[in-house]
Amino acid sequence: MELQAVLMAAGGGSRMTDLIYNTPKPLLPVGNKPLMWYPLNLLERVGFEEVIVITTKEVQKMMSSDPKMKLDVKMKLDVVCIQEDGDMGTADALRHIQQKIKSDVLVVSCDLITDVALHEVVDLFRAHNATLAMLMSKAHEFTETVPGQKGKKKTAEQRDFVGVDPSGKRLLFMANEADLEDGLSIRKSIIKKHPRMHIKTGLVDAHLYCLKKEVVDFLAENKSISSIRGELVPYLVRKQFSKTANRQKMKDESEDQTQKKNDDSTNQELLIASRDESLLQLAQERSCWNDHHGDMSEAYHGGKLRCYVHILDQGLCYRVNTLAAYIEANRLAPKLFEEPAVHPSAVISEKCQMGSDSMIGALCQIADKTSIKRSTIGNSTTVKEKVKVTNSIVMHGVTIEEG
Partner 1 sequence: MADSGGTDEHDKKDDVERSKSEGKELTKEEKQRLRKEKKQQKKHKEKKDDKASQESGKENKSASSAAAAPQLPTQTVKAPSAVPAPAPVFVPASSEAPASADKPTKTKAELKAERRARQEAERASKQGKKGDPGQQAASGKLKAPPSELQPVVKRLPEHIQVDNPEVLKKLAKKLERQQIPLRSDYGYKVSLFSHLHQYSRKAPLTQQLSIPSTVIHPAVVRLGLQYSQGIVAGSNARSVALLHAFKQVIRDYTTPPNEELSRDLVNKLKPYISFLNQCRPLSASMGNAIKFVKKEISNIPTQCKEEEAKSKILNCIEWYINDKIILAAKAIAASAIEKISDEDVILVYGCSSLVNHILFEAFEKRRKFRVIVVDSRPRLEGREALRRLVQRGISCTYVLISAVSYILPEVSKVFLGAHALLANGYVMSRVGTSQIALVAKAFNVPVLVCCETYKFCERVQTDSFVSNELDDPDDLIVTRKGKTHLENWQEVPSLGLLNLVYDVTPPDFVDLVITELGMIPCTSVPVVLRVKNVDQ
Q: Which is nearer to partner 1, 162 or 309 (CB)?
A: 309
Which residues inside 71-110 make contact with partner 1, applying CB under 8 A? 106
CB under 8 Å to 181, separation ≥6 — which residues?
none
Strand 317-319 with 112-114, pairing: antiparallel
Binding mask 259-278 for partner 1 (x = CB under 8 A): ----------------xx--
Sequence-separated contacts (24+) of 245-253 with Cβ below 8 Å:
245/270, 245/271, 245/303, 245/304, 245/305, 246/301, 246/302, 246/303, 249/302, 249/303, 249/304, 253/277, 253/278, 253/281
Angle ∠(319,325,327) on CA atoms, nearest 5:
135
Nearest one of 370, 349, 336, 263 to 115, comparing CA atoms: 336
CA distance 276 to 278: 5
In the complex, minimum distance from the CB of residue 210 to partner 1, in angstroms, rounded to a whole number: 10
In the complex, minimum distance from the CB of residue 215 to partner 1, in angstroms, rounded to a whole number: 17
**Count of residues in the chain:** 403
CA distance 368 to 348: 8
Which of 251, 288, 350, 403 contacts partner 1 by CB under 8 A? Answer: 288
Which of 196, 280, 340, 349 contacts partner 1 by CB under 8 A? Answer: 280
CA distance 244 to 334: 50
Which residues inside 48-67 make contact with partner 1, applying CB under 8 A? 48-49
Contact range with partner 1 by CB under 8 A, out of 21-29, 57-65, 118-126, 318-326: 118-126
Which of 8, 52, 113, 118 contacts partner 1 by CB under 8 A? Answer: 118
Rg, C-alpha atoms of the chain: 24
In the complex, minimum distance from the CB of residue 166 to partner 1, in angstroms, rounded to a whole number: 12
Task: Confirm or reject binding of residue 1 to partner 1 (CB under 8 A).
Answer: yes
Q: Which is nearer to partner 1, 5 or 271 (CB)?
A: 5
Q: Which is nearer to partner 1, 1 or 156 (CB)?
A: 1
In the complex, minimum distance from the CB of residue 296 to partner 1, in angstroms, rounded to a whole number: 5
Which of 99, 148, 286, 338 contacts partner 1 by CB under 8 A? Answer: 286
Letter string b/e over residues 32-55, b meaning 16 or more CB atoms within 10 A of that residue's CB: bbbbbbbbbbbbbeeebeebbbbb
Which of 178, 250, 283, 347 contacts partner 1 by CB under 8 A? Answer: 283
Contact range with partner 1 by CB under 8 A, out of 75-83, 120-128, 254-262, 350-358: 120-128
Backbone dihedral angles phi then psi of residue 130, each to the nearest 5 degrees: -80, 160
In the complex, minimum distance from the CB of residue 254 to partner 1, in angstroms, rounded to a whole number: 18
Q: Which is nearer to partner 1, 199 or 283 (CB)?
A: 283
CA distance 218 to 226: 12
Which of 3, 80, 316, 346 contacts partner 1 by CB under 8 A? Answer: 3
Which of 15, 68, 128, 249 contacts partner 1 by CB under 8 A? Answer: 128
Task: Confirm or reject binding of residue 402 to partner 1 (CB under 8 A).
Answer: no
CA distance 392 to 1: 44
The residues binding partner 1 (CB under 8 A) are 1-5, 46-49, 106, 117-119, 122-123, 126-129, 275-276, 279-280, 282-290, 293, 296
